[in-house]
Amino acid sequence: MNLLEAHGIEKRYSGHLALDDVSIMVPKGTIYGLLGPNGAGKTTLIRIINQITGPDKGEVLFNGRKLEANDIYKIGYLPEERGLYKKMKVGEQALFLSQLKGLSRNDAMKRLKYWFEKFEIQSWWDKKIEELSKGMAQKVQFMVTIIHEPELLIFDEPFSGFDPINTQLIKDEILELKKKGTTIIFSTHNMSTVEDLCDHITLINKSKNILSGQVDNVRMNYGSNIFEVGYRGSYDAIVNNLGGMFEIINNNIENAVPKLQVKVANPAESNKLLQSIIPHAEVVSFNPVVPSMHDIFIKVVSEYNKTHGLSNN
């Protein structure tokens, strides 16, 4: 079942078409990647989901019904632009923001105590926000985003300002939230993070949804029919037996187990390739070479822009 659905969303600003018939369906308990170049329309869609602005056309459904004003208390939003008050003390501000999200002062204090201890930031309570580094302030904002335990969390570039250790800390917390059943929309330019965290993606470009699907399926669909074969045996014997039927892309003999990359005409030919190698070498591994989300992102956006006569800027 989908927690959130957006159907046929259109939004214009002063003649600029920010979103053009964009639809997404976010299954419950998953991490959904919202991808696209700068200015593609991602933030506009996020603002519509958060009811900061409304669509000109289309509708947003939450738990199978039209999104309502009170649903905002079931959503946590960490924007790319940070919104903490620099002159306020960390604890005072965290308490204030927690209560804005519908928590009583007592419940807010209990939950904040838990998170301050978990993140080992008890000493920050009486510091002013302006005394914190960007990464430290980001950690505080992450905490107050999830404090009310919403059904849906929306993170817009959540790792901005973090060093690798704190990036991993937040990644682990996001995965733990998913385990507990929270649904997460994740907007980022870091494609390796998408591969690490996301179950599904939608790629928005020039205001349109140009690619959607499960991450594993998307990567497989954009494969180049290349298979990597780990083997023990004679390379020459393998090559001679293939007899020009397949294109050899690469042979890496630097590892303990040599790996041969071979291109086939179509995925169905993989069985024939394997059968051709087995009599002449021990096959240790046999896997398709799957493109990265980074490569797919560039390919899909570039091809779309070229087909529609658009620039990549």
CB atoms within 10 A of CB 68: 10
Q: Does 300 reside within a domain?
A: no
Cβ proximity of 225 and 218 under 8 Å: no
Cβ proximity of 72 and 51 under 8 Å: yes
145 in the same domain as 271:
no
249 in the same domain as 153:
no
228 in the same domain as 154:
no
- The 3-class secondary structure across the chain, one letter per residue, is CEEEEEEEEEEEECCEEEEEEEEEEEECCCEEEEECCCCCCHHHHHHHHCCCCCCCEEEEEECCEECCHHHHHHEEEECCCCCCCCCCEHHHHHHHHHHHCCCCHHHHHHHHHHHHHHCCCHHHCCCEHHHCCHHHHHHHHHHHHHCCCCCEEEEECCCCCCCHHHHHHHHHHHHHHHHCCCEEEEECCCHHHHHHHCCEEEEEECCEEEEEEEHHHHHHHCCCCEEEEEEEECHHHHHHHHCCCCEEEEEECCCCCCEEEEECCCHHHHHHHHHHHHHHEEEEEEEECCCCHHHHHHHHHHHHHHHCCCCCC
Q: Does 310 reside within a domain?
A: no
151 in the same domain as 238:
no
pLDDT score recorded for residue 123: 94
Cβ proximity of 20 and 208 under 8 Å: yes
CB atoms within 10 A of CB 46: 19
Question: What are the tokens at 158?
Answer: 């959540």
Cβ proximity of 92 and 127 under 8 Å: no
141 in the same domain as 85:
yes
Query: For residues 36 and 207, what is the distance between their CA atoms, to the nearest angstrom?
Result: 9
pLDDT score recorded for residue 203: 96
pLDDT score recorded for residue 117: 95
For the chain, the farthest-separated pair of C-alpha atoms sits apart, in whole angstroms, at 76
279 in the same domain as 162:
no
Q: Does 197 reside within a domain?
A: yes
Query: For residues 154 and 254, what is the distance between their CA atoms, to the nearest angstrom?
Result: 44
Q: Does 203 reside within a domain?
A: yes
Q: What CATH number is associated with residue 236?
A: 3.30.70.1150
Pairing outcome for strands 200-205 and 31-35: parallel
Q: What is the pLDDT of residues 263-296, one digit of tens each?
A: 998 888 889 999 989 998 999 999 999 999 999 9
112 in the same domain as 98:
yes
pLDDT score recorded for residue 77: 95
pTM higher than the cut 0.75: yes
pLDDT score recorded for residue 160: 81
pLDDT score recorded for residue 29: 97
Query: For residues 298 and 160, what is the distance between their CA atoms, to the nearest angstrom?
Result: 22
pLDDT score recorded for residue 82: 66
**Which residue segment(s) compose the domain that 252 sits in?**
224-288
234 in the same domain as 211:
no
pLDDT score recorded for residue 154: 97
- Of 219, 252, 280, which marks where a domain is finished? 219
Query: For residues 148 and 143, what is the distance between their CA atoms, to the nearest angstrom?
Result: 10
Stretches in the chain below the pLDDT threshold 70: 82, 243
How many domains does the chain fold into? 2
pLDDT score recorded for residue 134: 84
Burial class of residue 225 in the structure, from the number of CB atoms within 10 Å of its CB (0-12 exposed, 13-18 middle, 19+ buried): middle
Q: Does 293 reside within a domain?
A: no
